[in-house]
Structure 1
Amino acid sequence: MPDIKQLHQQAIHALNQRDFADAHSLCVQIVKQDPCDHDGYFLLAMINLEVGQIAKAIKLIEKANDIAPQAEYFAYLAKCHSLRGESQSVLDATNNAPIEQINKPLALDTLGVALSRVGQHEKALAYFSKALSLDKHNAHFYYNSGVSSKFAGKFEDARAHFEHAIRIAPDYHQAHFALADLGGVSAENNHISRLQAAAKRTKTVDADMHIAHALAKEYEGLKDYTSAFDVLENAKSAKLASIGYEFADDAAFFDCVEQTQLKELGNGSSQADDFAKAGDSSHQPIFVMGMPRSGTTLVERILSNHSGVLSAGELQDFGVAVKELAQTPSPRVLDVETLRKAMQLEPAKIGQRYIQRTQAIVGDSPHFVDKLPFNFFYIGLIRRALPNARIICLLRDPLDTCVGNYRQLFSLNSPYYAYAYNLQNIGRFYNRFHTLVHQWQATGMDNFKLLNYQDLVRNPEANIRDLLTFCGLSWQQECLHVERNQAPVSTASKVQVRQPINQSSIGRWTHYRQHTQALETFFKQQQIPFES
């Protein structure tokens, strides 16, 4: 029988070759020979991580750390928890992985990515910097550092990192898009030729999507909106065909919310006292939600410029808390079965679990903003679980919202953005959203506010005063100056919201009017007004 050293070498080779079955067999032999071999458990964890068994990977890393704790193990433990959206656990693991104790570039990069996933971009940059000091030839390290630099508002650093990544790997499609997304395009300074050449070399639908969105960004910078739309339409049509999406998939979510959460509350607020008694009493959370590209980030920046409010970013924690307690078997956090099961849960347990999950980020701040757009599927559950929370839902012009969603490169691996590959599907989604949030408004809930984006940017002071009053906050002049807010931004609005409040985004859809006739007709039929 091979000795343990040989088994380790063979297991690492098999893992690098992605021969997970052989690697697993070898690791089992290692821990059978020596039940205290911490590296054996760590390698088993890496195998489970690669095949998506994150819970098993966490237990195996914890076992390795019980035997012989190592900073590198904690780095990968942070990665596992970040994949599950567990901010508290990511920060706990990071505290056990001080940067001076890690000298493997990949482990440093891994921990940086984990921190970035939970919005800790400044902390992440230190780990990326050390990784690059040890390995200056890894395009992924430059790209990851660029992403955190961009979210931290260090745009010139981000440009330099993305360009460096592209020099090392000319077909690095994510880096091409990330660079284009920073803007600053002119007739004299653009990357269109380079992107067109890269487009001819793409080999996957997702690579096509990144390059197409990069080209569209640059065409828009040159005001060539026809070329921008054409390149998006070609790539998005192929992506839509590859996933087999039907709008009925999303319609089922809206149907479920209307049949459960809305039905329970009814057409009045008579159950408000019952909700207040049943839920957690925390006043900390301020939920800001709405369709993507509807102004949610702007409102977050306004509120978090108040001295009593912390920006927590787009937290997954409410949905994850519901999923944990519902214990439904599906792999998705949001699904119809979970939404139905959630109505049988004790409201206070949901609220308490949410508050527990967010404490690592928000601490003892009097209030914090949770800005996850799709939390509108949980409005009734939030009302039950956290009756003292404020719920602000953005409503933006339907055509600006729909075209904005079409122009945006959302997460290609997320099922929740599948509607965004086709303008008509986006219109249907908006219509159901519009109906749902107006139904919530009609209930008269005292902690729910529907906020119009156009009104906000056209008359900011009056609307911000009203917004602060709704949240129980005193007036502070600084809330008018979002451009002074230095907190990181992890959303598509990372560049725009560092500018003063303005009306430049109103009517942007008209650049694409030759492609929106069907949408205009649809919204007229649905009696949903839009600005022309």
Structure 2
Amino acid sequence: MASSFGAAPPDSFERQVETGFRLLSQGRVVEAARLADALIASGTTDPQALLLGCEVRLAQGNPQAALHLISRAVDVAPGQVRLLLRKAHALALLRRRLDARNTAAEAVAVAGDDAQALVAAGRIYGSCDDPASARDVLLKVIEPGSSDPALLYDLAGAQFFTGDFAAAERNLDAVLRVAPQAGHAIYLRSTLRRQTPRDNHVADLESRLRAGFADPSARAACLYALAKELEDLSQDDRSFAVLSQAAALKRKTLRYDVRAECSTIDAIRSTYSTPAMHGVERPGSEGMGEDIVFIVGMPRTGTTLVERMLGRHSDVRSAGELPDFGEHLAAAVRGALAEKPGQTPVEASLSLDFESLGHAYLETARQAAPGSRVVVDKMPINFMYCGLIRKALPAARIVHLVRDPMDSCYAIYKTMFNQAYFFSYDLDELATYYATYRRIMAHWHAAMPGSILDVHYEDVVTDIETQARRIIDWCGLEWQSGVVEPSDNEAPSTTASAAQVRQAVYTTSVQKWRRHANGLEPLRMRLVDAGIVAK
């Protein structure tokens, strides 16, 4: 039988496919791409050759082309678990989350007891903000007494997000028996619940610190865990001293320039001036985005609490903290810069087709919360894009959470975030960023008055029904009394507040910063100088 290359030996085609995969494994993407392109150009329908083409396109950062090729492979060879998983992966990269989850489910259905495939499916579910499905798949793989720290940590994370804190703690203990320096597991374990004098990990954490850590990030995580547990035990002075050590060490592990980030936010503010915001309504756009609610603000200001309130409404479903608006915006800006180089990204954004941007966002946001009349996007840092959101989605509702500046900054400072909010690890940088945030929010209110609803955290926790009625009315929804019981929301929460939001609404975090007033005085003075807090 002739191969796709004429008179070559019958096994030549298979050897070339194998060569392509070997080149990819060696990082020789250009050579692998040349070979894959030749195989595909031959008109082949061989699923392995199409899979090779998919992997090449993924390595080149082109998930759309990868999806096209892997979909052809699945059509030719339906029911092959490896092909289904790669298709699900490409869909997830394209933020087609519902399609990715459905394809992952197809893979699970044919995977049998293939542990490797089930783990891969679980991670796809996790990347699509579906921790319940990730948990269920991992439970099929992980045997009682398992000692695989990576799998146990993934399972514990899914259990944390779905509210099974006791099981998560057991699995994290198992992780730490095998991997005693796993800083991420140490920190998560301490955040699962409020520690008590009779039940805490303080001695264990101190012992781990004395033993030492090879990785500074892991040591910082252990220090954050200890600071959190000491605060739970009302050892405030010691807690803040440990927290300061943790933050300083964490900051040393990062390459970050707060001035550059704040300069970009200030550029957005000056570019999207009041005149630039005139005429955001386009013909036919009056209802565009009316099914989207953006919850914005600084992190740790009650954004998750309000999200959980809204999620109790029968017409509402939360999509979680979607990066989608910023990612669609960045992609559109890259296109604009390619057509007209020499501009800054913010300048280039002014010429975007905002209607197309809005449609692109809606397509992926709706996939994140399918079957719901109203979708909540709770990405806090969308605060910097409020004006651009208004241009792209004129009918979208924007709810802005406001919290006492000192409480807000302290809550941010004491949290170890996962690859986000790098300004949070230094009090001076935190003050700089917070002042920048306040400036742009004041600008949005001035430039598009009446477009943003401010909701104060302190008002929510002291009079939840009044604030819930304001929010429900703002979102154009009918009143439902269940929204005042956010702790009854059984949906997963994939945020740092996953444990707190399952408790009844409490007021004990109001003015909590005062317990650490001495340590926070440099921050307070920076905010005084910025005119944000009274002297």
Shorter chain as denominator, the TM-score bin is 0.7 to 0.9
Q: Offset of 1:255 from its aligned partner?
A: 1.6
Question: Matched residues in 2 for 1:351 and 1:68: separation?
Answer: 36
Mapping for residues 447-462 of structure 1, pairs under 5 Å? 447-462=451-466
- Normalised by the length of structure 2, the TM-score is 0.85
Cα 1:55–1:210 shift into 2, 3 Å: farther
Match of 1:314 in 2: 321
1:214 equivalenced with 2:225 (yes/no): yes
1:237 equivalenced with 2:245 (yes/no): no
The aligned amino acid for 1:245 is Y
The aligned amino acid for 1:426 is L
Q: Offset of 1:44 from its aligned partner?
A: 7.1
Q: Is the 8 A contact 2:23 2:32 kept in 1?
A: no
The aligned amino acid for 1:509 is W
Percent identity, aligned pairs only, is 26
Q: Offset of 1:11 from its aligned partner?
A: 8.7
Match of 1:286 in 2: 293
Match of 1:504 in 2: 508
Question: Matched residues in 2 for 1:257 and 1:485: separation?
Answer: 36
Q: Offset of 1:81 from its aligned partner?
A: 4.1
Match of 1:464 in 2: 468
The aligned amino acid for 1:479 is V
Match of 1:131 in 2: 141
Question: Matched residues in 1 for 2:282 and 2:26: separation?
Answer: 53
Q: Offset of 1:147 from its aligned partner?
A: 0.9
Match of 2:408 in 1: 401
Match of 1:65 in 2: 74
Match of 1:333 in 2: none
Cα 1:40–1:20 shift into 2, 3 Å: farther
Match of 2:494 in 1: 490
Match of 1:107 in 2: 117
Q: Offset of 1:31 from its aligned partner?
A: 8.9
- Normalised by the length of structure 1, the TM-score is 0.86
Question: Matched residues in 1 for 2:214 and 2:18: separation?
Answer: 33
Q: Offset of 1:399 from its aligned partner?
A: 1.0
Query: Tell me, what secondary structure is at the counterpart of 1:474?
Result: coil
Q: Offset of 1:45 from its aligned partner?
A: 5.5
Question: Matched residues in 2 for 1:248 and 1:44: separation?
Answer: 42
Q: Offset of 1:483 from its aligned partner?
A: 1.5
The count of aligned residue pairs is 517
Q: CA RMSD in A?
A: 3.5
Q: Is the 8 A contact 1:72 1:102 kept in 2?
A: no
1:249 equivalenced with 2:253 (yes/no): no
Q: Which runs of 5+ in 1 are unaligned?
A: 331-335
Q: Offset of 1:93 from its aligned partner?
A: 2.7
1:428 equivalenced with 2:432 (yes/no): yes
Cα 1:476–1:25 shift into 2, 3 Å: closer
Q: Offset of 1:56 from its aligned partner?
A: 6.8
1:172 equivalenced with 2:182 (yes/no): yes
Cα 1:387–1:56 shift into 2, 3 Å: closer
Q: Offset of 1:277 from its aligned partner?
A: 4.6
Match of 1:141 in 2: 151
Mapping for residues 1-20 of structure 1, pairs under 5 Å? 19-20=26-27
Match of 2:164 in 1: 154
Question: Matched residues in 1 for 2:73 and 2:145: separation?
Answer: 27
Q: Does 240-249 or 126-135 show the bigger shift?
A: 126-135
Q: Offset of 1:219 from its aligned partner?
A: 2.1
Query: Tell me, what secondary structure is at the counterpart of 1:394?
Result: strand
Cα 1:328–1:11 shift into 2, 3 Å: closer
Q: Offset of 1:525 from its aligned partner?
A: 1.8
Cα 1:115–1:229 shift into 2, 3 Å: same
Q: Is the 8 A contact 2:217 2:253 kept in 1?
A: no
Cα 1:86–1:457 shift into 2, 3 Å: same
The aligned amino acid for 2:512 is R
Q: Offset of 1:276 from its aligned partner?
A: 6.6
Q: Which runs of 5+ in 2 are unaligned?
A: 1-8, 338-342
Q: Offset of 1:450 from its aligned partner?
A: 1.5
Cα 1:329–1:123 shift into 2, 3 Å: farther
Deviations 1:112-142 (A, max 9, x none): 1221222212222221112214993422112
- Structure number with greater Rg is 2
Q: Offset of 1:448 from its aligned partner?
A: 1.3
The aligned amino acid for 1:253 is T
Q: Does 337-346 or 283-292 show the bigger shift?
A: 337-346
Match of 2:390 in 1: 383
Question: Matched residues in 2 for 1:278 and 1:390: separation?
Answer: 14
For residue 204 of structure 2, the aligned residue among 181, 194, 210 is 194
1:271 equivalenced with 2:312 (yes/no): no
Match of 1:204 in 2: 215
Match of 2:6 in 1: none
Q: Offset of 1:161 from its aligned partner?
A: 2.1
The aligned amino acid for 2:434 is Y
The aligned amino acid for 2:74 is N
Q: Offset of 1:7 from its aligned partner?
A: 8.8
Match of 1:438 in 2: 442
Q: Is the 8 A contact 1:41 1:60 kept in 2?
A: yes
Cα 1:328–1:192 shift into 2, 3 Å: farther
Question: Matched residues in 1 for 2:182 and 2:336: separation?
Answer: 36
